[in-house]
Structure 1
Amino acid sequence: MAEIKEATYNEDSIRSLDWKEHIRLRPGMYIGKLGDGSAADDGIYVLLKEVMDNCIDEYAMGYGKSIEIKLDEGRVEVRDYGRGIPLGKVVDVVSKINTGAKYDSKAFQKAVGLNGVGTKAVNALSTYFKVQAFREGKSKWAEFNKGELTKESEMMDSDQKNGTHVIFEPDNSVFKNYHYIPQFVEAMIWNYCYLNAGLTIVFNKQKYISQNGLLDLLRRKTDEDSLRYPIIHLKGEDIEVALSHGNQYGEEYYSFVNGQNTTQGGTHLSGFKEALVRTIREHFGKDYAPEDIRQSVIGAISIRVQEPVFESQTKTKLGSATISPEPNSPTVRTFISDFLKEKLDNYLHMNLAVKEAIKKRIEQSERERKELAGVRKLANERAKKANLHNKKLRDCRFHLDDEKNEKRFDTVMFITEGDSASGSITKARNPELQAVFSLRGKPLNSFGLTKKIVYENEEFNLLQHALNIENGLEDLRYNKIIIATDADVDGMHIRLLLLTFFLQFFPDLVREGHLYILETPLFRVRNKKETIYCYSEEERQKAISKLSPKPEITRFKGLGEISPNEFENFIGENIRLEPVILEKESSIPKILSYYMGKNTPERQKFIIENLRVEKDEIDEVLAEVLDIK
């Protein structure tokens, strides 16, 4: 038996890391998950947000009316017109932990960034970082590489307006193969504009501005014509609320604290939901079920508090908090409850048509819930039996709802079609983090059907249970749901049918950025020395040129043709994912009607103009896709 050597534990075992070493060793503590930019909460967007938060805090304090952002490949520039960092502290503010002005509550009463870490994390995690401050006709700049100061200027004269200019390039060794997706940056910018009426943000020369706050947010997020009643917009000191009811399944909320988009909610969002139910019940004098009151709600809430307590450095979830540190200050829940009890109740008394529309929406939800109850009970019993030997699901060890596990954000479920594709992915996957759900042929076209079909259709019901989304996203088991189908006509059709299912019955899954399409190579080009996988015709031509004179070329028509050994390259560290993004003007009913409703000349024209397939496949595509009913 081999001898076991005991590790030495002495004074030499104890090591102190400086600030930049610690950030680079444990980046997740400071910016959440890393990622490559294919998800809206990936680290590269958090870096931008940390810089932007400082600019927004300046604006909130009354300094500077505009912010400029430039994004060019992997380089980001942000220029504000606030007071500018005091010139003698330019280096310290971005390179000394726990250094900043926001500890002085007089200077920053209700700031977003409070812990003096933000720009230090950006600095430490960038291969190039430059900060330049302009104050009262003077300027100073400093440049860094991974947190190390490389150059520093003397104080010099300047004709620039007051403010701060930051340039950074995220470290590709930390954020592997990263790329910024403009839609995610644009969504972040709009949120800043909604919460800071009158602020102008210029992003790559395009202007963004909002004058009506959360009212504008809901107008952009909904099709106003499909709402049950005009958006209710209520404002008070340190609080703003907007809400309406639509026709979609589920609930949709946007929440903010001190201008920070709290994507994971917190006490203010739960308080808002509770207060809405309580106010509606008391106003109508009826004990409506909470789920009937909130069904199809779309709402937004923004509050401002002194010294907010967030549950992580990335500030995506508000912990317990009071409105201010003053004695007897109300809790956030009490503050929101009192506001809605007065303002919403008064609004309903004064707008009887809205009151009647809310009543009808609640009663409709109540009827639908009771109709579903019997079907749901039988379907759930069936699903429990199937889960004991569910051949459709090859589960993984860790899940998103394992809140104490730091790997939970890396969990994925691949949805595949056919035994060969499922078999290849199952053999190649990481069983700790990657699950596989196998479809049997094409799923049902659910367009225009009610949620009853989710329970009556065995495949949909098993998929719903595998994801654990029957009652919302709170207990979702996988962070990324990845549709993995062949890049041919049948594969595209299956994608469309799955997108219809999710958009129709679980739109929050798409809105919250959990749904993706797996990109796999179309070609393999190789010679005896090298193999190159190509995802487009352009990449194929480059590979042929590189490996000339006569490389071997293989075209992958289906995922089943890719061996498990090769698949490891495409679902591991170098995985390529295309996020399914709902554009700002997108109306889900209109999207589904356009693509999945009765055939229209407009759709025929769109498909023909946007075909990207080989010539011999065109007739097959037209016959298959244009005939969707």
Structure 2
Amino acid sequence: EFSRGLIKENFDEKDTSDRNGTEISFIPDADIFLNFKFRKEYIERMLRNYAYLNPGLKIFFNGETFYSENGLKDLLDEELENETLYPIIHLRDNDIEVAITHTDKSQTETYFSFVNGQNTTQGGTHLNAFREAYVKTIREFFNKNFDASDVRKSIVAAVSINVEEPVFESQTKTKLGSNDIGPNGPTVRTFIIDFLKSKLDNFLHRNPELAEAIQRKILISERERKELSGIQKLARERAKKVSLHNKKLRDCRQHYNDQKNERKGETQIFITEGDSASGSITKSRDVETQAVFSLKGKPLNCYGLTKKVVYENEEFNLLQAALNIEESLEDLRYNQVIIATDADVDGMHIRLLMITFFLQFFPDLIKNGHLYILQTPLFRVRNKKETRYCYSEQERIKALNELGKNPEITRFKGLGEISPDEFKHFIGKDIRLEPVVAGKDQTINQLLEFYMGKNTPDRQTFILENLVVEDPDIDKKEILAEAVDEN
């Protein structure tokens, strides 16, 4: 038994009928891991990936079995749930496996990349090579110089390679930096280009109907891009004019896309609701690593809209420019994009509208773990000796019991009510962030359609079935009717 690297106790070996193996159990050290929690979604995602990368392997967790017969093809099948434009292309060889398809539900490129079983969420040399190789192969197959963005628009692909002695660009191993497959092998780029040029080209020749579906998708993307080009030009000119005096963004000095920046992992941008909240955060933030973007009110519900709205809507366009994600997530300027809204109905609505925006147009931001919700205290409980900040009713009751008679209680209704001196405690080392995670129960499109679409009766039924009302004499339908009237 170990604690902080030191042996606390040695145990004698015992005879057992169990199979040989190693079992490790652990408890996170509360002095090191502050406010920790195990998130089932992350654990399940990790186990699913292990199953996809090791077809035939069964993993059991909390009564659920994780198993895959077809590797990365199953990954895309589960992610898309029949929302593909054509059957998934699944190709394998020694040390490489890819699965490719397109969908008309997304405006972006979506990739799942792995190296030696590690989920490289930030890509790297292998993903760059795959994106290049796919465009090169498609151009040569159709003998047309398609624009690369048209070829890759709405692509959903998974790529896994094995590399000898891989070099990663960070300790978390989320981005491959290696250029070579092994000491005596080809470069990663050459290896992947040769693989796709042979395997994908042969597959397309054997499946002409599928090749036609890909060509149709490219031509549609080309037409949409040309329709957008004029709007994009105007939006960029407008953004350039206001960039020097943009009151929405209070930038920081360090940025996530600066490879030489040792603090890039600490970079954050807070998306706030109005000037009062942004004022408190701006005055208490770390100007080196924390930026603030201020919304002017409730943003547009962009579910079902095309990418055109991002350029036509000034606020969305400026936010896109601030994050620097128009072309690719690789250029993201902040590691953590944090939605910071009031703990009330309006704040929750704005939070949902912003999550809808990112799910609709930049889902990779969420899939790669960059989007968070800022948790701020609901109450301040204090006496003459001590001040407690409480994030829930349970914490408030506990503080009341521990601080003695008649402590002063303050209920924070909005972020603007919290002074900068207090706010620095909530966005510093003790910051509480709730990651936004896309679950497996529904696809992104199904999720948005139910919660943000026009199916009002279904949503009302869902609310009535799940609304918690402590007073049995209160009619749920009356509460819902009042809420609808207010909005």
3-state SS of 1:165 partner: coil
Residues 585 and 240 of structure 1, relative CA distance in 2, 3 Å threshold: farther
- Give the equivalent residue in structure 2 for 1:118: none
Contact 1:399–1:408 at 8 Å: present in 2 too? yes
- Give the equivalent residue in structure 2 for 1:52: none
TM-score normalised to structure 1 length? 0.73
Counterpart selection for 1:602 from 458, 471, 478: 458
- Give the equivalent residue in structure 2 for 1:203: 61
3-state SS of 2:261 partner: coil
Counterpart selection for 2:208 from 328, 333, 352: 352
Q: Which runs of structure 2 are paired with 1:457-476 in the superposition (5 Å)?
A: 457-476=313-332
Q: Distance in 2 between matches of 1:180 and 1:148?
A: 25
Q: Which amino acid aligns with 1:227?
A: T
Contact 1:519–1:577 at 8 Å: present in 2 too? yes
3-state SS of 2:8 partner: strand
- Give the equivalent residue in structure 2 for 1:242: 99
Offset at 1:153? Answer: 4.1
- Kindly provide the CA deviation profile for residues 380-430 of structure 1, in whole angstroms up to 9, marking residues without a partner as x: 111011110011111111111122122111111111112211111111211
- Give the equivalent residue in structure 1 for 2:127: 269
Residues 537 and 177 of structure 1, relative CA distance in 2, 3 Å threshold: closer
Q: Which amino acid aligns with 1:185?
A: I
3-state SS of 1:481 partner: strand
Residues 270 and 518 of structure 1, relative CA distance in 2, 3 Å threshold: same
- Give the equivalent residue in structure 2 for 1:160: 18
Find out whether 1:501 has 2:357 as its counterpart: yes
Residues 489 and 315 of structure 1, relative CA distance in 2, 3 Å threshold: closer
Q: Which runs of structure 2 are paired with 1:203-242 in the superposition (5 Å)?
A: 203-224=61-82, 226-242=83-99
Q: Which runs of structure 2 are paired with 1:283-294 in the superposition (5 Å)?
A: 283-294=141-152
Residues 251 and 583 of structure 1, relative CA distance in 2, 3 Å threshold: same
- Give the equivalent residue in structure 2 for 1:115: none
Contact 1:221–1:585 at 8 Å: present in 2 too? no
Contact 2:367–2:438 at 8 Å: present in 1 too? yes
- Give the equivalent residue in structure 1 for 2:137: 279
Residues 599 and 155 of structure 1, relative CA distance in 2, 3 Å threshold: closer
- Give the equivalent residue in structure 1 for 2:436: 580
Q: Distance in 2 between matches of 1:303 and 1:241?
A: 9
Q: Distance in 2 between matches of 1:300 and 1:525?
A: 50
- Give the equivalent residue in structure 1 for 2:111: 253
- Kindly provide the CA deviation profile for residues 471-493 of structure 1, in whole angstroms up to 9, marking residues without a partner as x: 12111111111111111111111
Contact 1:489–1:620 at 8 Å: present in 2 too? no
3-state SS of 1:469 partner: coil
Counterpart selection for 1:417 from 273, 280, 294: 273
Q: Distance in 2 between matches of 1:545 and 1:324?
A: 63
Q: Which amino acid aligns with 1:451?
A: K
Find out whether 1:184 has 2:42 as its counterpart: yes
**What's the Cα RMSD here?**
2.3
Contact 2:255–2:334 at 8 Å: present in 1 too? yes
Offset at 1:290? Answer: 0.9
Q: Distance in 1 between matches of 2:183 and 2:402?
A: 66
Q: Distance in 2 between matches of 1:607 and 1:595?
A: 11
Offset at 1:155? Answer: 5.2
3-state SS of 1:391 partner: coil
Offset at 1:565? Answer: 1.5
Offset at 1:453? Answer: 1.2
Contact 2:122–2:368 at 8 Å: present in 1 too? no
3-state SS of 2:42 partner: helix
Q: Which amino acid aligns with 1:231?
A: I
- Kindly provide the CA deviation profile for residues 335-393 of structure 1, in whole angstroms up to 9, marking residues without a partner as x: 22222112211221222221111111111111111111111111111101111001111
Counterpart selection for 1:193 from 48, 51, 54: 51
Find out whether 1:515 has 2:371 as its counterpart: yes
Q: Distance in 2 between matches of 1:289 and 1:542?
A: 61
Contact 1:249–1:507 at 8 Å: present in 2 too? no
Q: Distance in 2 between matches of 1:625 and 1:491?
A: 16
Q: Gapped runs of 5+ residues in structure 1? A: 1-142
Q: Distance in 2 between matches of 1:183 and 1:622?
A: 34
| Identical counterparts, % of pairs | 63
Q: Distance in 2 between matches of 1:185 and 1:542?
A: 31
Offset at 1:451? Answer: 1.1
Q: Distance in 2 between matches of 1:283 and 1:606?
A: 49
Q: Distance in 1 between matches of 2:414 and 2:466?
A: 22
Q: Which amino acid aligns with 1:206?
A: E
Contact 1:244–1:299 at 8 Å: present in 2 too? yes
Q: Which amino acid aligns with 1:237?
A: N
- Give the equivalent residue in structure 2 for 1:27: none
3-state SS of 1:281 partner: helix
Q: Which amino acid aligns with 1:533?
A: Y
Q: Distance in 1 between matches of 2:170 and 2:416?
A: 42
- Give the equivalent residue in structure 2 for 1:380: 236
Offset at 1:157? Answer: 3.7
Radius of gyration: which is bigger?
1
Offset at 1:611? Answer: 4.1
Offset at 1:625? Answer: 6.2
Contact 2:275–2:294 at 8 Å: present in 1 too? yes
- Kindly provide the CA deviation profile for residues 483-535 of structure 1, in whole angstroms up to 9, marking residues without a partner as x: 11111111111112111211111111111111111111112222222222222
Counterpart selection for 1:371 from 227, 246, 251: 227
Residues 527 and 435 of structure 1, relative CA distance in 2, 3 Å threshold: same
Offset at 1:209? Answer: 1.5
- Give the equivalent residue in structure 2 for 1:486: 342
Q: Which amino acid aligns with 2:147?
A: A
Which range is displaced more, 255-264 or 277-286?
A: 255-264
Residues 625 and 614 of structure 1, relative CA distance in 2, 3 Å threshold: farther
Q: Which amino acid aligns with 1:486?
A: D
Counterpart selection for 2:257 from 387, 401, 405: 401
Q: Which amino acid aligns with 1:233?
A: H
Q: Gapped runs of 5+ residues in structure 2? A: none
Find out whether 1:298 has 2:131 as its counterpart: no
- Give the equivalent residue in structure 1 for 2:419: 563
Contact 2:122–2:330 at 8 Å: present in 1 too? no
Contact 1:240–1:303 at 8 Å: present in 2 too? yes
Q: Distance in 2 between matches of 1:284 and 1:563?
A: 62
Q: Which amino acid aligns with 1:302?
A: S
Counterpart selection for 2:392 from 536, 559, 576: 536
